[in-house]
Amino acid sequence: MTDQPSLSFFARFWLAFVCFWRIWIYPEFARAVLPVRVAHDEGKALPGATPAELPAPKPPEPPPALPPEREHASALQLLSMLQREGRLVDFLQEDVAAFPDEDVGAAARIVHEGCRKVMRQYLTLEPVLPQSEGDRVNVPVGFDAQRIRLTGNVAGQPPYTGALKHHGWATTAVKFPSTSPALDPRVLAPAEVELS
């Protein structure tokens, strides 16, 4: 039995109320209270212990790193959709140097149509700059270097004026379906076997 004075019901109620909110708001207070609760549950009371005397809890283990195919699942999923609709992987894996231009052009038309369908279905794109290519544009002081890349004779400090060579693209919305953990994202297209 400890020499601590006994607390009345209302004193314990007030202490519980104050501790409840402090545990929610102050993580360091919660860490200090946790060993006392664990020791009490195990029947080892810590009389008169103050938060500074309590042992620090072990930091939680970091979650295991995702394998590369899971970390990049969304990129692989996009590549899989481009293969499914436009046969993009097939086209890029083919050595087209040996084919006549007419055949390459016909294949490119099919790939373009399928890939464009995927882009329009799952991504909303807009030009970075609204002007037409060839128009004169002003690049202000403090411009975003991720959105505007300067080429040609870049000297001095902004503002700059130049000809727009490409209006750029920015994604404003992404509508990919969620990736099922049961599927292997490395399989971009399954092998097809026709049975007779």
pLDDT tens digits, one per residue of 56-79: 677 888 887 777 777 788 888 999
Residue whose tokens read 């404003």: 172
Instruction: Tell which residue, 165, 168, 178, 103, has the closest CA to residue 135.
Output: 165
User: Is 89:83 a contact under the CB 8 Å cutoff?
Assistant: yes
pTM given for the model: 0.59
pLDDT tens digits, one per residue of 131-182: 999 999 999 999 999 999 999 988 888 899 999 999 999 999 999 888 788 8
For 7, 93, 111, 175, 188, the CA distances from 56, given in Å and listed in that order, are: 28, 57, 60, 45, 48
For 119, 121, 191, 196, the CA distances from 91, given in Å and listed in that order, are: 17, 21, 16, 28
Answer with the residue of higher pLDDT: 73 or 40: 73
Show me where the domains of the chain are located. 9-58, 68-122+174-186, 128-168
Percent of the chain with pLDDT over 70: 88
